[in-house]
Amino acid sequence: MAAKIHIFSEKNTNFAAGKIIYSSIMRIDIITIFPEMFNGPLTESIVKRAINKGLVDIHLHNLRDYSTDKHRRVDDYPFSAGAGMVMMIEPVDNCITKLKSERDYDEVIYMSPDGILLTQPVVNQLSMNQNLIMLCGHYKGIDERIREHLVTMEVSIGNYVLSGGELAAAVLTDSLVRLIPGALTDETSALSDSFQDGMVSPPVYTRPREYKGWSVPDILLSGNDAVINEWKYQQALERTKIRRPEMYEMLKKN
């Protein structure tokens, strides 16, 4: 299997849509022993469109291709007693060193349950970068020297344990790609996302106006934009208070 599975799009593709010229502004290299796990998340919906527009380049690297072992091994027993295998340093170093010889990277992110919690402010900050490496761990962990010498940042997507970093890397990638200008059809949608203003979203409705006696709030049909916007704001505020009290406290402080 090829060392590098490049999903779609030539690098630096320029794509003209109306007056907007898009160019590839972010590159994400994902190191994994399960490249196939990314097929759904990166080949559908907004991420797929962003790749096809040339807004982002995503490269999957099968860690086994960087093993020097004839059985393509990437894990070994831990020194001292302990349950589970440990991801070896050499294949990871080989892969990262090769990538770094080709371009500079802003961060080498190890996807790990004990990393910093992924929140919208963290996503926003990371979205300012151009070249990112995401390393997906497996087994009981990775050799600590990888974290000491190669990794610059560790990210977790929540306080629960996944079987590996792949799903987390797919989540992080999706959250980043939707912030790239041009990735969303309505440029304002990312700004009105939940959490972007420190609040959850207000409720939304569509037709029919009446269903089984369940009706749409009259105010949304009033046609008065100022009143509607104030209602949406109050709804978002109230929901934030109930669902994310810690976020609500932050709002009150600011």
161 lines the binding site for ligand 6GU (CB under 6 A): yes
Task: Note whether 31 binds ligand 6GU by CB under 6 A.
Answer: no
C-alpha distance from residue 5 to each of 38, 61, 175 (Å): 11, 6, 21
DSSP of 138-195: -TT-B-HHHHHHT-SEEEESSSS--SSSHHHHHHHHHHHHTTSTTSSSSTTTTTTSTT
The residues, any chain, with a CB within 8 Å of residue 89's CB and separated by 6 or more, are 142, 143, 145, 146
Instruction: Kindly indicate which of the ranges 160-168, 178-186, 203-211, 213-221 contains the residues binding ligand 6GU, using the contact rule CB under 6 A.
Output: 160-168
Whether cis (ω within 30° of 0) applies to the bond prior to 208 is yes
> Considering only residues 26, 37, 168, 200, which one is a binding residue for ligand 6GU as defined by CB under 6 A?
168
**CB 136, CB 92: distance < 8 Å:** no
Per CB under 6 A, which of residues 46..75 are in contact with ligand 6GU? none
Select from 93-101, 105-113, 178-186, 193-201 the region that touches ligand 6GU (CB under 6 A).
105-113
Binding region for ligand 6GU (CB under 6 A) out of 35-43, 99-107, 163-171, 198-206: 163-171
Residues 28, 9 contacting (CB under 8 angstroms): no
Work out whether 79 is an interface residue with ligand 6GU (CB under 6 A). no
CB nearer to ligand 6GU: pick between 89 and 162 = 162
Shortest Å, Cβ 37 to ligand 6GU? 12
Q: Is 162 a residue that touches ligand 6GU (CB under 6 A)?
A: yes
41 touches ligand 6GU by CB under 6 A: no
Q: How far is the CB of 154 from ligand 6GU (least distance, A)?
A: 8
Give the residue with the Cβ less far from ligand 6GU, 56 or 111.
Answer: 111
Site size with ligand 6GU, rule: CB under 6 A = 12
| C-beta neighbour count of 175 within 10 angstroms | 19
Torsions phi, psi of 68, nearest 5?
-95, 0
CA–CA separation, 83 vs 85, rounded Å?
A: 7
**Are the CB atoms for 114 and 142 separated by under 8 Å?**
no
Q: Which of 111, 180, 199, 236 binds ligand 6GU (CB under 6 A)?
A: 111
182 lines the binding site for ligand 6GU (CB under 6 A): no
Binding site for ligand 6GU (CB under 6 A): 111-113, 156-158, 160-162, 164-165, 168
